[in-house]
Amino acid sequence: MSATHGEVYLGIGTFVGFVTFVGCWIYCIATYGFLLGVGLVFAVLLLTIIGALAANLPLPPGTEAGAWTAALEVGCAAVADFGPEVLVVSLGVDTYRGDPISRFRLDTRDYPPIGARIGALGLPTLFVMEGGYAVEEIGVNAVGVLEGFETGT
């Protein structure tokens, strides 16, 4: 099992849910420090003890789509190397530039290619909706990811 997380933070619910699977691997693209704010060494130690592996890629506030998708590419390559049987994507569209809590600067047009890249992994995939607080754009951005995943574009 593998989880990718593209939200502004890694929610504790997501963390607890995924680390209960022994052999789970978590990849987080975040704007805040290290995994759960506890520091890289502690997070890796904790996840190693319980049988999960994690990678956390913090990006600076104001990160645009190009740098964010480069981080996604690193994560997708790591997922492919890990070789999971299934993929769980904790989909947070609070990465949208108009989202009131976003520290990223993704536009609606950026979401279909994100879905296409995830789809290119060729894994059975479950999307779990996590965050998004720009109410008018949540559906459009989430559907953009799903359409990109389905069509490859």
Q: What is the largest CA-CA distance in the chain?
A: 42
Q: Give the three-state DSSP class for 90.
A: strand
The pTM for the full model equals 0.77
Task: Give me the pLDDT at residue 101, please.
Answer: 85
Task: Give me the pLDDT at residue 75, please.
Answer: 84
The per-residue pLDDT for range 8-65, each reduced to its tens digit, is 334 444 444 444 444 566 666 766 544 444 445 455 555 555 555 666 677 888 899 9
CA 132/CA 91 separation, integer angstroms: 9
Domain ranges in the chain are: 59-151
Strands (E), 38-96: 53-58, 63-64, 87-91
Question: Which carries the bigger pLDDT value, residue 152 or residue 61?
Answer: 152
The per-residue pLDDT for range 62-120, each reduced to its tens digit, is 899 999 999 898 888 888 888 888 888 888 898 999 999 888 999 999 999 999 999 99
Question: Which carries the bigger pLDDT value, residue 73 or residue 144?
Answer: 144
